[in-house]
Amino acid sequence: MNIDESAVLERPVIKKKQDTRIRQGKLASKVITLAHGGGGKAMRDLIDDVFIEAFSNPVLNTLEDQARFELSDLAKLGDRLAMTTDSYVIDPIFFPGGDIGKLAICGTVNDLAVGGAKPLYLTCSMIIEEGMKVDTLRQIVKSMADTAKAAGVQIVTGDTKVVERGSCDKIFINTAGIGVIHQHFKLGANKAQAHDRILVNGFLGDHGAAILDARGDMNLESPIESDCAPLQDLIQILLKAAPNTRFIRDATRGGIASVLNEIAASSQCGIEINETSTPIRTEVKGFCEILGLDPLYLANEGKLVMIIPEDESEAALAALLSHPLGVDSADIGVVLEHGRVGRVHMKTSFGGKRIVDMLVGEQLPRIC
């Protein structure tokens, strides 16, 4: 399959629109009050001084009830529209390696990118608890703005609600995203074939371990940082090197174990992974042993599970290793030609095999 490089790596071109809106006053309060969700001047000042100040772009600044785009501009970048949405309720809202704002942008960008889409536009809706410090909100919003800029996307519309103390835990964020997909990319969990290789782009379980440690349940001498990161550039490089890639998924809640079980069920195949080649930090392994957790089920926010045709797997791995977010990438297993349909198992370091089932319940709640 021949793919025009510019079609894969081109950044979105967004037409300039004149911003004729007159800015309102500055936010005076140091904490969020119910008035900031009431629709009056206090709310307008909050939107101007916190959100518009950080997210400013021609589409957002008009403050219409919807963001408007030229369909012809979208058509220049792809053949199909991709859309996703997610809500973030993580506890704590700040953690080593990120915060709820960075997580919201990365999660939505990655959900678009794993389908082969070029992420373009995001929405942002916030439910804020009365009493939150404005400086804390500014920090979260700045993190969102910085991450969106790094990911090459724009936040173009949103909504703000303020609820009474105790009605939510500090802040909840919902983001939706729109992207476009080039016609050559048709990825799916049902497309795995015998002999396909299974790749990941680095150490697994870091996010889940970082969140649990940040809650104060452990006191690690070497704190583990979340792997939270936007992966759209890494995915574009992968698709250029391996254009017949079958499937990509970011292994969030349920970890890689849940993703692999989804593939095995959807493709009606068996999957085998190798413990010795599956990258997990020594600290995370020790952390899990102490708490009785399995790192294969821990959440990740910057790690991909990829199903690659055997004849493209070496090129795919080389491409991943060339990117900063893929320097610890590894080939961890294979889709079996003969194996129990829908079953995932791991070859252990002792030479045996163990079943890797779908996660039942939740190892760790409010992880994202």
Long-range contacts of 316-323 (CB under 8 A, 24+ apart): 316/197, 316/199, 316/238, 316/241, 316/242, 316/245, 317/199, 318/241, 319/237, 319/238, 319/240, 319/241, 319/242, 320/199, 320/201, 320/234, 320/237, 320/238, 322/237, 323/233, 323/234, 323/237
- Tell me the average pLDDT across 188-211: 97
Whole-structure pTM over 0.85, yes or no?
yes
pLDDT at residue number 6:
45
Over residues 296-337, the pLDDT tens digits come to 999 999 999 999 999 999 999 999 999 999 999 999 999 999
Percent of the chain with pLDDT over 90: 80
Over residues 70-107, the pLDDT tens digits come to 999 899 988 899 999 999 999 999 999 999 999 999 99
pLDDT at residue number 2:
46
CA angle, 277 then 278 then 279, to 5°: 105
Over residues 329-365, the pLDDT tens digits come to 999 999 999 878 999 999 999 999 999 999 887 777 8
- List all residues 6 or more positions away from 238 whose beta carbon is below 8 Å from its beta carbon: 245, 248, 306, 316, 319, 320
Between 3.30.450.20, 3.20.20.70, 3.30.360.10, 3.30.1330.10, what CATH number should domain 26-181 receive? 3.30.1330.10
CATH second-level architecture of 197-355? Alpha-Beta Complex (3.90)
- List all residues 6 or more positions away from 352 whose beta carbon is below 8 Å from its beta carbon: none
pLDDT bracket for residue 219 (50, 70, 90): low
Cα separation, 329 vs 317, whole angstroms: 7
Q: Comparing 255 with 17, which gets the higher pLDDT? A: 255
Residue 22, SS3? coil
Residue spans of the domains in the chain: they are: 26-181, 197-355
R_g of the chain, CA atoms, integer Å: 22
pLDDT at residue number 24:
56
pLDDT of 215 > 90? The answer is: no
- List all residues 6 or more positions away from 56 whose beta carbon is below 8 Å from its beta carbon: none
Over residues 170-185, the pLDDT tens digits come to 999 999 999 999 888 8
Over residues 106-153, the pLDDT tens digits come to 999 999 999 999 999 999 999 999 999 999 999 999 999 999 999 999
The amino acid at residue 186 is K
